[in-house]
């Protein structure tokens, strides 16, 4: 479980997050949604310690993350897996080396054990037999899947995904969404996904936090989102022609 207590963040006097409190539960896909510039990425970066909140606290189960110094935070992050928007795979390493890197750093496993774990993670994301390919040889969807495999390499307790299906076609986007959902349930991890894709919201949104202009505007489930009386949320949800017709 991740608990966010009243966090605020500003850059050069401009308020980007204002007193946000929320709880993200275990084995659930928690989504942060909102328009571009609403503060989704800043909130996610605060959660993983890439930004330091000006006020408030972030708790990972019983650990007060915001009270840790940068080195302690870095050590704590070994329990996190992060999937970046573009995948952030290391260009100079092949797929196997990319997935193996956290194991090289933080385990004393033998070469064989590492290889088995790499293959397990790649099979989990439906990418067998790509071990020797380099990121430049992969499609957008494959890159995302390798990034997910790398993120789960060390059995993280917390998984963060920054717009995991941006730039993907709708079918591949659904495959990625379902994959994240499956991993979340199978491994019993707390997953936080930053997205503005309404397909993802309807497909995997167990718990949804809607941000508007840096503030928490609405919180609920994917079933509740369609019947909400919140005007700002409705403008966002029913922005597309398809959703208007659906409504």
Which residues sit at the interface with other proteins, rule CB under 8 A? 48-50, 74-78, 80, 82, 84-86, 88-91, 101-102, 104-106, 160
d(CA 132, CA 111): 16
Shortest CB 32 distance to other proteins, Å: 17
Burial class (CB in 10 A: 0-12, 13-18, 19+), 199: middle
Between 135 and 205, whose beta carbon lies closer to other proteins? 135
Residue 86: CB minimum distance to other proteins, A: 6
Instruction: With both helix axes pointing from N to C terminus, report the angle between 140-151 and 95-106 in degrees, rounded to the nearest 10.
Output: 20
Q: Which is nearer to other proteins, 79 or 172 (CB)?
A: 79
CB of 87 to other proteins, least distance (A): 9
Residue number with CB closer to other proteins (90 or 246): 90
Kindly tell me which of 33 and 44 has the beta carbon lying closer to other proteins.
Answer: 44
- Shortest Cβ 92–other proteins spacing (Å): 8
Rounded to whole angstroms, what are the CA distances from 10 to 23, 54, 236? 22, 7, 24
Q: Residue 179: phi, psi to the nearest 5? A: -60, -45
Judged by beta carbon, residue 48 or residue 130, the one nearer other proteins is 48
Cβ-based nearer residue to other proteins, 167 or 220: 167
Tokens 């790398």 correspond to what residue? 150
Q: Give the shortest CB-59-to-other proteins separation in angstroms.
A: 18
Q: Evaluate whether 212 touches 201 at the Cβ level (below 8 Å).
A: no
216, 20 in Cβ contact below 8 A?
yes
φ, ψ for residue 79 (rounded to 5)? -90, 0
In the complex, minimum distance from the CB of residue 21 to other proteins, in angstroms, rounded to a whole number: 23
């Amino acid at each position: 479980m991740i608990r966010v207590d009243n966090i605020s963040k500003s850059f050069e006097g401009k308020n980007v997050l204002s007193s946000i409190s929320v709880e993200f539960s275990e084995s659930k896909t928690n989504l942060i949604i909102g328009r571009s510039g609403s503060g989704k990425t800043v909130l996610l970066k605060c959660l993983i310690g890439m930004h330091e909140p000006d006020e408030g606290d972030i708790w990972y189960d019983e650990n007060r993350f915001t009270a840790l110094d940068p080195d302690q935070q870095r050590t704590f992050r070994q329990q996190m897996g992060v999937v970046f928007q573009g995948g952030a795979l290391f260009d100079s390493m092949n797929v196997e080396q990319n997935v193996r890197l956290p194991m090289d750093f933080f385990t004393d496993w033998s070469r064989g054990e590492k290889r088995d774990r790499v293959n397990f993670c790649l099979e989990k994301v439906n990418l067998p037999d790509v071990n020797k390919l380099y990121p430049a040889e992969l499609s957008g969807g494959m890159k995302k899947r390798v990034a997910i495999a790398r993120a789960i390499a060390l059995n993280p307790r917390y998984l963060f995904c920054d717009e995991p299906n941006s730039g993907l076609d709708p079918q591949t986007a659904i495959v990625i969404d379902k994959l994240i959902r499956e991993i979340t349930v199978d491994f019993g991890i707390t997953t936080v996904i930053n997205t503005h894709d309404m397909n993802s919201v309807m497909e995997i949104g167990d718990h949804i936090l809607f941000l508007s202009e840096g503030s928490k505007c609405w919180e609920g489930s994917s079933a509740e989102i369609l019947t909400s009386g919140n005007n700002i949320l409705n403008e966002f949800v029913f922005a597309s022609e398809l959703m208007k017709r659906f409504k």
